[in-house]
Amino acid sequence: MRLGKVYLVGAGPGDTGLITLKGVECLGRADLVLYDGLVNPLLLGHTQAAAVRTSRTSAPEGRVLAQHEINEQLIAAARAGKTVVRLKGGDPFIFGRGAEEAAALAAAGIPFEVVPGVTAAVATSAYAGISLTHRDCASAVAFVTGHEDPQKPESLLDYRALAAFPGTLVFYMGLHRLPEISQALIREGKPADTPAAVICRGTTPAQRTVVAPLGGLAAAAEKARLHAPSLTIIGECVRQRETIGWFEQKPLFGRRVGVTRPAGQSAAVIARLFDLGAQPVLMPTIEILPPTDWHEVDRTLERLATFDWIAFTSVNGVRSLMGRLWETGSDGRRLGGIKLAAIGEGTSQALAEFHLRADLVPSSFRAEALAEALKPHVAGRHVLWARASRCREILPIELRSAGATLEELVVYRNEDVDQLDVPTLAAIEGGELDWIGLSSPSIARSLARLLSPAAKARLGDPIRLASISPITTAAAHEAGLPIAVEATRHTWNGILDAIIENS
Ligand code: SAH
């Protein structure tokens, strides 16, 4: 059996954009991924491999894997010919035991490579607006473990030397020992008024930074109830934050925004939310499913050439119809000279994904407006409406009254999900979200049904609802949901713009 290989890969500190290209390539090739508790699980989107979490009690087996067990798993998988990624928070070697894993692999004769990562000190200082080696304030930087008790005589750390160190000190893992660490430094001669900061969950939308003079840092961190993972920076360089802080100033920094879109359709929204500094909370309220049976769709696709117009009233309608055309061995040429109508910007963008230009998009995002715009063109014409199993029924009534022969074709089903997941519902009940975006009437109705009375009591204050359009707002009101803002552009980007304006 050919030996596999192990890649010890740094995942970066939290922001999923801070893994290296090489790290992503390794994930793409992996057969097995073992990742530690600091790794952002969203990175697993880069791999098809089985992924096992190796620490923290939230592992499915409910236990923490000992280091020797991790080493044994790496070795066994590589012996079985697998490509294994050992994904570790930050950099694999900086306070990461990566070297111990490498040594075990070397001893077992397993080929391995190390892919460095952005270590927490480098990443979180940058995101907090602190340059660890700004030439005006530090000519050196030390990465120090705060894990050891400075009172213990066998401590490897020489606090006298650390206090005299001519540069910035960065303590990893030291939050619980902050009182002892700062006292030891001050006792050994470090001025109590040295600027210092604790950064918690750095580089993520949950980043929090507490700044205080060294002498008051432990009390300030305690008061702010910071928790792990946290990092402490001590030195004059902390002052720069006031001028070059940037991450915490993002438009939606730290805000938690519920995304109610169907799972699998939220990628672009999630990316923009992270870009705005917000924390997306995925809470799909409806799911998009294929028709129960494709028979009707397939028969219609075969005689597509008999239609003069196709009307699309959703992105899903476009993707489903065009996707089925492709799957059944045909392609966009089947649309020939048929004219295409799209209800709004999102739907016409979906057509553009298939290199199709909408012939008609009404100026306002409503079925009434689409019908109005189509009416002059459809008398005596054959119109196909690619529709959802559930949607407003306005279009057929209007178009038939204008003399069109209209066929309705259900190209996808939209069904309510049975429930929100338990942590999400608890977060809403606890008022922990800032916003929830609603992007269709059925989503609004479904949310109203899924929320408990305790969750509903949080709507309006502190959780605000943002609606995509007047129709969605009306549906929400009818279902008893208060809408705080309504988008002027009827897309998810429009919802986010409205949220930014009102935050
Ligand atoms: N190998 C990792 C460090 C592992 S030790 C690296 O290179 O970053 C774990 C410590 O790293 C934590 O106790 C904390 O001090 C620090 N840390 C990791 N991620 C962090 C984050 N997002 N924000 C603040 N500190 C972090």
What is the arithmetic mean of pLDDT over 44-52?
A: 93
What residue owns the CA closest to ligand 1's atom 25? 230
Q: Please give the distance, rounded to the nearest whole angstrom, from the Cα atom of residue 251 to the centre of ligand 1.
A: 26
Q: Please give the distance, rounded to the nearest whole angstrom, from the Cα atom of residue 230 to the centre of ligand 1.
A: 7
Contact criterion met (CB below 8 Å) for 68 and 118: no
pLDDT of residue 62: 52
Q: How many Å apart are CA 198 and CA 200, to the nearest integer?
A: 6
pLDDT of residue 257: 97
Q: How many Å apart are CA 360 and CA 373, to the nearest integer?
A: 8
Q: Show the beta-strand stretches assigned E in 252-326.
A: 256-259, 279-282, 286-289, 309-312
Q: Give CA separation, 68 vs 43, 65, 101, 134, in Å.
A: 25, 8, 9, 41
Extract the tokens encoding 124.
């979180």
pLDDT of residue 59: 45
Q: Please give the distance, rounded to the nearest whole angstrom, from the Cα atom of residue 231 to the centre of ligand 1.
A: 7
Q: Please give the distance, rounded to the nearest whole angstrom, from the Cα atom of residue 173 to the centre of ligand 1.
A: 7
Contact criterion met (CB below 8 Å) for 200 and 226: yes
Which one of 95, 100, 170 would you pick to mutate in the ligand 1 pocket, going by the greatest count of ligand atoms within 8 A of its CB? 95
Which one of 172, 173, 226 would you pick to mutate in the ligand 1 pocket, going by the greatest count of ligand atoms within 8 A of its CB? 172
Q: Give CA separation, 258 vs 240, 325, 399, in Å.
A: 34, 34, 36
Is residue 339's pLDDT more than 50? yes
Q: Show the beta-strand stretches assigned E in 218-362.
A: 230-234, 256-259, 279-282, 286-289, 309-312, 339-342
Q: How many Å apart are CA 199 and CA 443, to the nearest integer?
A: 38
Contact criterion met (CB below 8 Å) for 427 and 433: yes
Residues 440-482: tens digit of each pLDDT: 999 999 999 999 999 999 999 999 999 999 999 999 999 999 9
Q: Please give the distance, rounded to the nearest whole angstrom, from the Cα atom of residue 20 to the centre of ligand 1.
A: 17
Extract the tokens encoding 329.
């061995």
Which one of 15, 16, 38 would you pick to mutate in the ligand 1 pocket, going by the greatest count of ligand atoms within 8 A of its CB? 38
Q: What is the mean pLDDT of the chain?
A: 94
The predicted model scores a pTM of 0.84
Q: Please give the distance, rounded to the nearest whole angstrom, from the Cα atom of residue 428 to the centre of ligand 1.
A: 29
What is the arithmetic mean of pLDDT over 262-276?
A: 90
Position 149 confidence tier, pLDDT thresholds 50, 70, 90: confident
What residue owns the CA closest to ligand 1's atom 9? 173
Q: Please give the distance, rounded to the nearest whole angstrom, from the Cα atom of residue 8 to the centre of ligand 1.
A: 17
Residues 291-332: tens digit of each pLDDT: 999 999 999 999 999 999 999 999 999 999 999 999 999 999
The atom number, within ligand 1, closest to the CA of 98 reads 1
Structural domains in the chain?
Answer: 5-117 (3.40.1010.10), 122-248 (3.30.950.10), 256-285+417-501 (3.40.50.10090), 290-415 (3.40.50.10090)
What residue owns the CA closest to ligand 1's atom 24? 230
Cis bond upstream, residue 229 (ω within 30): yes
What is the arithmetic mean of pLDDT over 240-263?
A: 94
The atom number, within ligand 1, closest to the CA of 199 reads 24
Q: Please give the distance, rounded to the nearest whole angstrom, from the Cα atom of residue 68 to the centre of ligand 1.
A: 22
Q: Please give the distance, rounded to the nearest whole angstrom, from the Cα atom of residue 338 to the centre of ligand 1.
A: 58
Residues whose CB falls within 8 Å of the CB of residue 153, separated by 6 or more in sequence, listed in order: none
Contact criterion met (CB below 8 Å) for 279 and 256: yes
What is the arithmetic mean of pLDDT over 341-346?
A: 94
Bridge-based pairing state of the strands 230-234 and 195-200: antiparallel
Ligand 1 cavity residues, CB under 6 Å: 13-14, 38, 88-91, 94-96, 119-120, 124, 172-173, 199, 201-203, 228-231
Q: How many Å apart are CA 38 and CA 41, to the nearest integer?
A: 9
Say which residue, 85 or 414, is predicted with more confidence: 85
Q: How many CB atoms lie within 10 A of CB 40?
A: 19
Q: Please give the distance, rounded to the nearest whole angstrom, from the Cα atom of residue 412 to the centre of ligand 1.
A: 45
The atom number, within ligand 1, closest to the CA of 204 reads 22
Residues forming a β-bridge with 144: 171
Contact criterion met (CB below 8 Å) for 247 and 207: yes
Residue type for 489, please?
R
The atom number, within ligand 1, closest to the CA of 146 reads 15
Q: How many residues does the chain have?
A: 503
For 221, what's the count of Cα atoms within 13 Å in the CB-facing half-sphere? 27
**SS3 state of residue 416:** strand
